Amino acid sequence: MLSKYRSVLSLPGATRVYATALAARLPQGMAALAVLLLVRGATHSYAAAGLAVGASALATAACAPLLGRRVDYHGRARVLAPLAAGEAIMYWAMVGAAQAHASAAVLVALAALAGALLPPVAPVVRVLLREMFDDPDVRDTAYALEAVIQEVLWIAGPLVVALLVAVTSPPVAVALIGAVCLFGTALFLTSELVRTKRTSAASERPERRSALANPDLRALLGPVALTGAGLGAIEVGLPSLALHAGSRPASGLLLALWSVGSMAGGLWYGARAWRSPLAQRYRLLLVLAVLCTAPLIAARSILAGVVCSLLAGVTIAPVFSCQYALVGRAVTDGSETEAFTWVSAALIGGLAGGSALAGAVIGPGGVSAPFLVSSGATLLAALLAAGFRAPIRQPA
């Protein structure tokens, strides 16, 4: 099982890329909870706090493709470094505004600006993996490892914030996010592979075309958004299940186990040698995701939630790995980063929509409603992926 991962990490500099990319992206995992607590404490309003978190996520989704295109055209360091500095300043400004008792509108605006300036480190990493590994089989393992590390980010970020808030305060946590953003991005940019590996220079391209000119990428965005909607619904449904079973603390446990299931599935997926075509594998994994989520519809106890949460997470990292590989094989030179940022934007938009819809149906539909929403959205994603007019091209 470990041999395929050794083939990835044995490349000189690969371990540093993964490690520094995790450090650079840690603020993304910390921000939602830290901003929520900061704005809630400053305004005494959960509505304002939720609006700040939502505005930040939507700003990230809206601006990511634009920033990705800038990276493709100007280079990684010239774009990521100023963005990291700008994002850090916005977080520090939020702390100052909160302590000065600024209005909720000011805090929401600063949160949105921080989200808009988020450095697109994750898309850059996926482009790097595409450049680093010529063997598609090894590259698929590298993408699977990237998907697993992404889950580590979502587990570690909130835990760090919870620890900071317990021993200090939300303003300290938000201020630290700015510092980590600067330091982590600087570490990432000093990695040798980040500095030496790059796509074709702007002057070498005959024309500047948007990544959306590629029909394969456009075909992927629908399934990606629907997959995100399914995940967003589960994020709302698991805490609801814990509350229904009479245990508020179990909310964090179920969400953590969901991520653990994803990590286990990703490690298993990346260790295997797959013979089926990538596009077909993607469709089958989406169908499997529906089957793994369905048991949550009937779950009513914490024990059932524990088992079903682990099961529901198993397909997440493999699905993401397939998505990364499909984008990596479809994009054209000169628009790689932009292509990955479009996928990230579609996923974030889907997450926001799925969370909102799941929250709206809990009241009339009960504790099962979010999981019905998730299963339905993922099933639509599978049907849409199966109905491509022009199947996603496989390399010769």
- Predicted confidence (pLDDT) per residue in 262-272, tens digit: 999 999 999 98
Count of CB atoms situated within 10 Å of the CB of 333: 10
Same domain for 48 and 87, yes or no, is: yes
Tokens representing 52 are 């700040």
Residue 204 lies in a domain: no
Q: How would you write 96-125 as a 3-class SS string?
A: HHHHCCCCHHHHHHHHHHHHHCCCCHHHHH
> Would the pLDDT of 43 be above 80?
yes
pLDDT one-digit tens code per residue, 54-95: 899 999 999 999 999 999 999 999 999 999 999 999 999 999
Same domain for 325 and 353, yes or no, is: yes
Average pLDDT over residues 162-169: 91
Tell me if 144 sits within 8 A of 267, measured CB to CB.
Answer: yes
Place of tokens 């490892």: 145
How many Å apart are CA 215 and CA 228, to the nearest integer? 21
Which residue, of 199, 218, 235, is where some domain finishes? 199
pLDDT given at position 201:
46
Collect all residues with Cβ–Cβ distance below 8 Å to 3 and sequence separation of at least 6. none
Same domain for 230 and 119, yes or no, is: no
pLDDT given at position 273:
84
Same domain for 9 and 31, yes or no, is: yes
How many Å apart are CA 147 and CA 151, to the nearest integer? 7
Same domain for 137 and 259, yes or no, is: no
**How confident is residue 2, by pLDDT bands cut at 50, 70 and 90?**
confident
pLDDT given at position 396:
37
Same domain for 214 and 97, yes or no, is: no
> Would the pLDDT of 23 be above 60?
yes
pLDDT given at position 395:
45
Same domain for 312 and 292, yes or no, is: yes
Same domain for 169 and 233, yes or no, is: no
Average pLDDT over residues 274-292: 92
Same domain for 51 and 186, yes or no, is: yes
Q: CA of 142: how far to CAs of 61, 86, 198, 304, 377, in Å? A: 25, 30, 18, 33, 28
Which residue, of 199, 233, 248, is where some domain finishes? 199
pLDDT one-digit tens code per residue, 368-379: 999 999 999 999
> Would the pLDDT of 394 be above 60?
no
pLDDT given at position 207:
54
CATH of the domain at 270: 1.20.1250.20
22-26, 47-51, 175-179, 346-350: least confidently modelled range:
47-51
**Using the 8-state DSSP alphabet, how is residue 393 labeled?**
P
Identify the residue with better confidence: 109 or 45.
109
Average pLDDT over residues 317-346: 89
Average pLDDT over residues 94-107: 96
pLDDT given at position 317:
96
Tokens representing 27 are 């603020």
**How confident is residue 356, by pLDDT bands cut at 50, 70 and 90?**
confident
> Would the pLDDT of 162 be above 50?
yes
Identify the residue with better confidence: 235 or 207.
235
Percentage of residues of the chain with pLDDT beyond 70: 94
**How confident is residue 203, by pLDDT bands cut at 50, 70 and 90?**
very low
DSSP string, 122-142: HHHHHHHHHHH--SHHHHHHH
Same domain for 165 and 230, yes or no, is: no
Alpha-helical (H) ranges within the chain are: 2-9, 14-43, 46-74, 76-99, 104-116, 121-132, 136-167, 170-189, 192-196, 215-244, 250-271, 278-293, 295-298, 302-313, 316-330, 336-365, 369-386
pLDDT given at position 387:
61
pLDDT given at position 30:
93
Q: Domain of 83?
A: 1-199
Tell me if 357 sits within 8 A of 376, measured CB to CB.
Answer: no
Question: Mean pLDDT, the chain, as a whole number?
Answer: 90
Residue 160 lies in a domain: yes
Which residue, of 199, 231, 251, is where some domain finishes? 199
> Would the pLDDT of 40 be above 60?
yes
Average pLDDT over residues 107-117: 96
Task: Domain count for the chain, please give it.
Answer: 2
Same domain for 151 and 173, yes or no, is: yes
Place of tokens 């594998």: 281
Same domain for 81 and 152, yes or no, is: yes
